[in-house]
Structure 1
Amino acid sequence: MSVKGKASVAVLLAAAFIAGILFTTAGANLFGWGDSVGTESRASGPGGTTAISTTDSEGFQRAVSLEDAFMEVAESVNPAVVQIRSETIQEQRSPFQGTPFEDFFGRPPGGQGGQGGNVRQGLGSGVVVRSDGHIITNNHVVEGADDLNVRLFDGEVYDAEVVGTDPYSDLAVIKIDAEDLRVVSFGDSEQIRPGQWVMAFGSPLDQRLSNSVTAGIISAKGRLQPSGQQDYGVQNFIQTDAAINPGNSGGPLVNLDGRLAGINTAIASRTGQFQGVGFAIPSNTVQRVTNQLIETGRVERARLGVEYRPASQSLIRSEGLPRGTAQIGGVMEGTAAEEANLQPGDLITAIDGEELDDALQISNIIGAKQPGDVVELTINREGETMTVEVELGGIDDPSMAESNNESESENDSALSSTAEDIREELGLALTDVSARELERLGINVDGAVLIEQVDVRNPAVRDSGLQPRQLIVQAAGEPTPSVEAFAEVYDQIEPGQSFRVRVMGPQGTLYVTALQKPAS
């Protein structure tokens, strides 16, 4: 090939490369790959919103480079991003308070009557959601603060007051006395896809680093994390590799249309600093919580009223259940679950017709609803599938009283030969529990056998979730008041067949799992 020909090929390749970049960006906007369609924040005002138009003056799709997109988003969003500084006074007691030496050694500086104080300063970020000065941030940024002030992008500093907080979602709304502020536009976090470009804003590590901007992609969505023992205490996070560090908490994560994808809230790290794994609260949750906090100062959440855990893999496998199936361990008194006659041992396989991929989805779905909403639960009870409509209650419903603490069985009788066979075939060491012992433990069952040991090397029990100190109260639908009774039921099971076992944990919660009798 001639030199002129090679040059022509090089030019064509370069042009194709540039065109590819432009097409990727334009195509992302055109087909929704780079944006999340959402609603504008209310009361936007003359300060405008952060949304960036993807069309030109004639209505045609604009083709912009990735670099230009980053710069446009930074220019549009930064005026809506704020730095939040908090001060918390921590009291300090004199070691001589209340002794004859108190006056002799004096009092801590700044204190009265032996009281002193250290001022702890905190740093966080936030984003304006209403043009009249309402700002969203993380609850942990403002929690316990005695003094709050906000620094805007233009350097103006304002005192701030807390409008409302929501520890369950780790969100809070604060307000400053300002008008006509730039407000963030909300995107639809349901439309977010892994691989989508996003940008994180905030004040990482130091006050002097305000309005720092980093870029990355959505690494994953639907990262569910329990935040407490209640059935509504689960958080749903977006994962990103855009750099997030201490001080970024409460700042916005936005897409390339300048719309809010989430609020930066946490990192996963072994060093305390960013290691490529950051988390943000999805924008749909942020918008729902923000509106309620501004309007009422609190967040209304629905509650089902159950204690639950993931069903064991052996039960899921043997009965062909969805992988996210959850098992009810307890039903709380006076709650929606009790009213709907849900029972310990019930398996929840779907909500409103959607099968569960993760048991924690129950809390996430229910927590996003309002008291009075009706949901349809698909229940598997003793192998039979049914649907149950539940009118949800609120989080102020009374919870179930705690069960008595675990206690060792007083029955130390030797294993019978029948129990020895069960140990060999199922990997379970069982022993009888006296009615007196059950009564002393406050366990209201007709009888049970205690699991003393579990041999996890045995495939029959490996995925069952059974653990020492649990009580087996039923096998294959029959009560098991003794090891002998369990053995009689076990003898009726065909080799190679699976059967259900109902188990009570040390705290009194009931669960169901499955065991498989070894084939002959």
Structure 2
Amino acid sequence: MAGLLFATAGANLFGAGDAVGTPGQAANLNGSATLDGSTAIEQSANSTPSDFETAFSRVAESVNPAVVQIRAAKVVDRRMPTPFEGTPFEEFFGQPGPSQPDVRQGLGSGVIVRSDGHIVTNNHVIQDAERLSVRTLDGTQYDAEVVGTDQFSDLAVLKIDASGLKAVSFGNSDQLDVGQWVLAFGSPLDPKLNNSVTAGIVSALGRLRSPSRRARGSNQGAGVNNFIQTDAAINPGNSGGPLVNLQGQLVGINTAIASRTGGYQGIGFAIPSGTVERVATQLVEEGNVRRAYLGIRYGPAPESLIQNEDLPQGSAVVSQVETGDPAAEAGLEAGDIITAIEGEPLDNYLELGNNIASMRPGDEVSLRVNRDGETRTFTVTLGARGDMQTADAESGGEGPPSSPESLQEDLGLQLRDVTPQVARQLGLEQDQGVLITDVDQSNPMIRDSGLQPRQVIFEMAGQRISDMETFMKVYRDIESGSAFRMAVRNPDGYVFVTSLQKPSGNG
């Protein structure tokens, strides 16, 4: 299976002052001004080889001044080796050596979207950076500040102290066709290769991917990333650069590649310009992104269910409905099968989250549901994730998670009770404790803890854990920011003890 990699040099991570848009299609970013893109051009209707060649050249000439190179300095701790490593004395004297800060330079790309120095790039290009610098086509270097970031969409907006810059024009990604020519810009592999241009076609549209738990944050269960697939060459360092059409308009932000080698193999992915415009506008205006919230967890309907009950191929099974959230208020229940949204049958269950993500808080959405063989239609008024987080903070301050599911997101563990049936299936002697069913490897604390699926938690913070109810009670009593011990029993019956730290600012 090919790996999916962020197209940022040094990374192998996958496992919007004036107008967004061309004249007449600008988005209002600050109440008075719009993005002032000026790269759009008119191409000749002729189709001779010479004209075709000229078309590419004209796009490159128009767009490149809006393309920038981004350098992200990140400080990491590097452990110094000890002289006893690899010797018989390592066990006795091979204590870890002192750590030493190591500054690493990440390489990425970006595109100017406002002439006053606002730049769009990928969030993963600038995440955790201590210092950001931007280089324009003419070689001028600028220090950059972060205006806002959005992990969910993997987008970020930077600002440099400049004016009169050339900004990209925005195209309509909804009007793209498979087979349409596109050009990718950026700094692949090496800083010296800045403003490189590659050409290809749109290979596919609507490639859907569910983001990691870390990017989702708390229990949304309805978020999906939607990508344009292209065969224009994208390599590490191209992340955050523009994908444009032959009119010089932005249609996507280059983000990732699928590869078995870590390099270009003809499969690249870009975030559609419609998403970029929506997210960048909110980041510039508000500094964050407010998303519509449905309040369910769901997964694909089994093939046997689809065939036996003649359901749409992309039907989604609701596995959980959050109490008090929009879906629950509208009457949805766990076990419902969502077959259509806004009257359109689902071809892929991820389309549900993709549609919700494109809506705003307060919007109404119609869901067609199959419940116990009967078809029903529910109208849900979508909430706002930000509003819900604020409400939690107002009602309980920085209190503990309010449900097992949100607690599990908090820790980076998926858990369930050890029922008699589970105990029999796993060959356990006792039907007590809490079973770890999955771990979030993107969470550094969990990754380093040694915790694994199929382990059973039987003690935490010095208290016996018999089920999820006692687990939640004990966890709530742990002070935020405090470390605590956790004892688990491995599948082979041996006991393993580790230590975790309760995140600060829960709620």
TM band (smaller chain): 0.5 to 0.7
CA–CA separation in structure 2 for the residues paired with 1:330 and 1:181 = 49
After the TM superposition, which residues 290-329 of structure 1 pair with which residues of structure 2 at under 5 Å, given as runs? Answer: 290-329=280-319
Out of 46, 50, 55, which is 2:39 matched to? Answer: 50
1:302–1:395: 8 Å Cα contact kept in structure 2?
yes
CA–CA separation in structure 2 for the residues paired with 1:312 and 1:149 = 49
Alignment match, 1:273: 263
Distance change >3 Å, CA 368–CA 412, structure 1 → 2: closer
Alignment match, 1:407: 418
Alignment match, 2:119: 135
Residues 1:84 and 2:84 aligned together: no
1:37–1:187: 8 Å Cα contact kept in structure 2?
no
* Letter paired with 1:297: G
Deviation at 1:123, TM superposition (A): 0.3
* Letter paired with 1:67: E
SS at match of 1:268: strand
2:71–2:134: 8 Å Cα contact kept in structure 1?
yes
Alignment match, 1:186: 170
Alignment match, 1:386: 376
Query: Which protein, 1 or 2, shows the higher relative CO under an 8 Å CA cutoff with sep ≥ 6?
Result: 2
* Letter paired with 2:73: E
Alignment match, 1:514: none
CA–CA separation in structure 1 for the residues paired with 2:291 and 2:422 = 46
1:379–1:386: 8 Å Cα contact kept in structure 2?
yes
Alignment match, 1:512: none
TM-score (norm 1): 0.65
CA–CA separation in structure 2 for the residues paired with 1:132 and 1:411 = 60
Residues 1:72 and 2:72 aligned together: no
2:182–2:201: 8 Å Cα contact kept in structure 1?
yes
2:37–2:114: 8 Å Cα contact kept in structure 1?
no
1:335–1:393: 8 Å Cα contact kept in structure 2?
yes
1:278-309 per-residue CA deviation (whole Å, 9 max, x = no partner) reads 00000100000010001111001011111111
After the TM superposition, which residues 118-517 of structure 1 pair with which residues of structure 2 at under 5 Å, given as runs? Answer: 118-229=102-213, 230-396=220-386, 397=388, 400-402=403-405, 405-407=416-418, 409=420
SS at match of 2:288: coil
Distance change >3 Å, CA 95–CA 244, structure 1 → 2: closer
* Letter paired with 2:228: I
SS at match of 1:290: helix
1:41–1:185: 8 Å Cα contact kept in structure 2?
no
1:422-456 per-residue CA deviation (whole Å, 9 max, x = no partner) reads xxxxxxxx9xxxxx97xx689xxxxxxxxxxxxxx
CA–CA separation in structure 2 for the residues paired with 1:278 and 1:245 = 9
CA–CA separation in structure 1 for the residues paired with 2:287 and 2:269 = 25
Distance change >3 Å, CA 300–CA 87, structure 1 → 2: same
* Letter paired with 2:126: V
CA–CA separation in structure 1 for the residues paired with 2:285 and 2:27 = 14
1:138–1:249: 8 Å Cα contact kept in structure 2?
yes
Q: What's the Cα RMSD here?
A: 2.8
Distance change >3 Å, CA 223–CA 412, structure 1 → 2: closer
Deviation at 1:333, TM superposition (A): 2.2
1:87–1:122: 8 Å Cα contact kept in structure 2?
yes
CA–CA separation in structure 1 for the residues paired with 2:335 and 2:23 = 42
SS at match of 1:405: strand
* Letter paired with 1:50: T
CA–CA separation in structure 2 for the residues paired with 1:333 and 1:152 = 50
2:112–2:119: 8 Å Cα contact kept in structure 1?
yes
* Letter paired with 1:128: I
* Letter paired with 2:103: V
1:163-215 per-residue CA deviation (whole Å, 9 max, x = no partner) reads 00000000000010011111111111111111000000000000000000000
CA–CA separation in structure 1 for the residues paired with 2:348 and 2:313 = 7
- Between the two proteins, what is the percent identity of the paired residues? 56
CA–CA separation in structure 2 for the residues paired with 1:37 and 1:277 = 32
CA–CA separation in structure 1 for the residues paired with 2:37 and 2:171 = 16
2:43–2:55: 8 Å Cα contact kept in structure 1?
no
* Letter paired with 1:311: A
* Letter paired with 1:127: V
Distance change >3 Å, CA 394–CA 79, structure 1 → 2: same
Distance change >3 Å, CA 137–CA 317, structure 1 → 2: same
1:66-111 per-residue CA deviation (whole Å, 9 max, x = no partner) reads 2111001000000000000110122346789xxxxxxxxxxx9xxx
1:325–1:359: 8 Å Cα contact kept in structure 2?
yes
Distance change >3 Å, CA 200–CA 94, structure 1 → 2: closer
2:185–2:198: 8 Å Cα contact kept in structure 1?
yes
CA–CA separation in structure 2 for the residues paired with 1:85 and 1:168 = 22
* Letter paired with 1:52: I
CA–CA separation in structure 2 for the residues paired with 1:62 and 1:182 = 28
* Letter paired with 1:77: V
Highest Rg: 1 or 2? Answer: 1
Alignment match, 2:466: none
CA–CA separation in structure 2 for the residues paired with 1:48 and 1:349 = 40
Distance change >3 Å, CA 355–CA 249, structure 1 → 2: same
Give the length in aligned residue pairs.
363
1:24-49 per-residue CA deviation (whole Å, 9 max, x = no partner) reads xxxxxxxxxxxx9982476578x861
CA–CA separation in structure 2 for the residues paired with 1:410 and 1:170 = 41
Higher mean C-alpha deviation, range 79-88 or range 224-233: 224-233
* Letter paired with 1:193: D
